[in-house]
Amino acid sequence: MVFSWLIGNDDLHGKNLSIHAPEGWWRPTPAYDLLTTQPYLKWRDPMAMNLYGRANRLKRSDFIDAGERLGVGARPMRRMIDELCDVSTTWIPRCAEIGFADRDTERLIALLTARAESLTGS
C-alpha cells in the first residue's frame, strides 16, 4: 500500500491484494496492477481503499501505525518506507518516459515528489 500511495495508484483495492499459505505460512502474492492512476482519475487524491479510516493526505506515521496494528514493528516499517523513498529518487525524474502530455507529466512529478516527502522524516 505504501508503494501504491507513493506512485499515485489510488485505485488500489482489495482484489488487487492477495495472500496465500504455501507450507502453512501466510504471505503476500507477487504484486500486480501497480500503476499511477492519477491522470486517469482527474487527479483526485483519495485512495480507493482506506487505511484505518484515512484515504488521503497519508503520511509516514499513518503507514507505521498501520504496520504496527498488523504486527509489523515500527523499525521494519521505517526501513521499508525509507528504501522506497530512496529508490523513488531515480524514477520520479523519468516520468516523461511514460508518454503523458507535458502538463500531466509535470503534475505527476509534483504529486510523486510531494508523496515521497510525506513519507520522509519522523
pLDDT value, residue 54: 80
- Tell me the whole-structure pTM to 2 decimals: 0.83
Cβ proximity of 28 and 17 under 8 Å: yes
pLDDT value, residue 121: 67
**Average pLDDT for 11-34:** 78
**Average pLDDT for 109-118:** 93
Cβ proximity of 107 and 42 under 8 Å: no
pLDDT digits (tens, 9 = 90+) for 57-96: 899 999 999 999 989 999 999 999 999 999 999 999 999 9
Taking residue 112's Cβ as centre, other Cβ atoms within 10 Å add up to: 20
How far is C-alpha 14 from the geometric centre of its chain's CA atoms? 14
Is residue 45 scored above 70 in pLDDT? Answer: no
Is residue 122 scored above 60 in pLDDT? Answer: no
Q: In which band, very low, low, confident or very high, does the pLDDT at 18 lie, cut at 50, 70 and 90?
A: confident
Work out the mean pLDDT of the chain and round it to a whole number.
87
Share of the chain above pLDDT 90, in %: 48
Is residue 112 scored above 70 in pLDDT? Answer: yes
Going from N- to C-terminal start, the domains of the chain cover: 2-118
Give the separation between CA 109 and CA 93, rounded to whole angstroms: 7
